[in-house]
Amino acid sequence: MKQNLNEMKPAELQELKEKLVKDYRVFRFNKMMGQLENVLKLRETRRQIARVNTILKEFALGIRVAK
């Protein structure tokens, strides 16, 4: 997944972030209701959101340039 994130453009990353945030909310709700079978999905999703945020911030600061 890391290779894929590095090749994405800022607009694609923003869309992915929105999707991940929605998924994270669903996972949290399902966990609260006792319906989430794999609780590690919460951690994985939260970390993916952080990775995307880091890359978006790098684009904003000019550290990373869109290809």
Q: What percentage of the chain carries pLDDT values higher than 90?
A: 84
CB atoms within 10 A of CB 55: 20
User: Domain-by-domain residue ranges, the chain?
Assistant: 2-61
Q: What share of the chain is helix, strand, coil (3-state, %, to 5)?
A: 80, 0, 20
pTM over 0.85, yes/no: yes
Nearest to 45 by CA among 67, 23, 65: 23
CATH entry, 2-61, from 3.30.70, 2.20.28, 1.10.287, 2.30.30: 1.10.287
Q: Give the model's pLDDT for residue 2.
A: 56
Q: Which residues of the chain have pLDDT under 70?
A: 1-3
